[in-house]
Homo-oligomer: A and B are copies of this chain.
Amino acid sequence: MRVDVIANVDDIRSEDFVQKSAVVIDVLRATSTMITALAKGARGLLPVETVPEAQNKRSEHTFVGGERYYKKIPGFQAGNSPHDYMSGDIVGKLVVLTTSNGTRGLLKSQRASRLLAASFMNGTACASALASFESDVILLCAGCKNEFSLEDGLCAGMIIDAMETQFNQSLRLNDLGLAMKLAYRQCRHSLYETVMEGSSAKQLVKLGFAHDVEYCTGTDTVPLVPIAKNDLILTPLY
């Protein structure tokens, strides 16, 4: 099985996903938020690209959230903090989410045969799913403003490590995949401290979201894998 890690959304074309399994990784915070919302009882998740698109979806059946530049969008029911998606308000609702990078990654990956969302919270569950699919894999690090984000790369490394060591997959990795596997193995026992050195975590701490970084660096805390259906609504695979 071939596994390619891509550094950010702009480093890949939509057609490159055809006949592949794709995993979008936006640890801080979009995919961690999605996993949380599904675990807390949301009916499904719809990623949308623009603020007006999200606003147009507002109804009694939806819960509309998102951010631009780390901040909640005025008039939205929630921002992009996983802690905004833990109340009873979201139970049974379709969560409509627009974020700077994570939702853009999901939209870009639509042509994949299977499309998952991952973070540290469900890394091993994702690796298990990918091993069972038996098709080549793209691990798309959402990054930030066209740049690589440390925590997304380390999460890709975690998934690769689990596929190899726990699910006995023999993988052909691209060079970035090899590097991320090494980097993850070096810091797996100090993940929170390592992620805190990265630019996204520093920015979140500055804006008062230190608790989000702590929450999002917990590994395998939610063994639930969001997978997209044809209409791009994500629901739990298990």
When each residue 173-203 of chain A gets 1 if its CB lies under 8 Å from chain B and 0 otherwise, what string results? 1111011101111110000001001111000
Measured CA separation A147–B5 after assembly (Å): 11
- A180 vs B197: C-alpha distance in the bound complex, in angstroms? 13
- Of all chain B residues, the one with the shortest Cβ separation from A185 is B186
Contacts A7-B7, A7-B148, A148-B7 given; does A198 touch B178 at CB 8 Å = yes
Which residues from chain B contact A197 at a C-beta distance below 8 Å?
Answer: 173, 178
Chain B CB within 8 A of A103 CB: no
Q: Is the interface of A mostly helix, strand, loop or mixed?
A: helix
Which residues between 81 and 95 of chain A lie within 8 Å of chain B, taking CB atoms? none
Counted per complex, copies of this chain come to: 2
Most B CB contacts (10 A, CB to CB) among A175, A186, A187 go to A175
Q: How many A residues, CB 8 Å from partner?
A: 25
The stretch among A122-130, A149-157, A209-217, A218-226 that forms the contact with chain B is: A149-157
B residues within 8 A CB of A7? 7, 148, 176
Q: Chain A residues in contact with chain B, CB under 8 A?
A: 7, 147-150, 153-154, 173-176, 178-180, 182-187, 194, 197-200
Q: A150-B178, A182-B184, A182-B186 given. 7 additional CB < 8 A pairs?
A: A7-B176, A147-B175, A150-B179, A153-B179, A178-B198, A182-B183, A182-B194
A-B contact pairs, 30 of them (CB 8 A): A7-B7, A7-B148, A7-B176, A147-B174, A148-B175, A148-B176, A148-B179, A149-B175, A150-B175, A150-B176, A150-B178, A150-B179, A154-B179, A173-B197, A174-B199, A175-B198, A175-B199, A175-B200, A178-B194, A178-B197, A178-B198, A179-B183, A182-B182, A182-B183, A182-B186, A182-B187, A182-B194, A183-B186, A185-B186, A186-B186
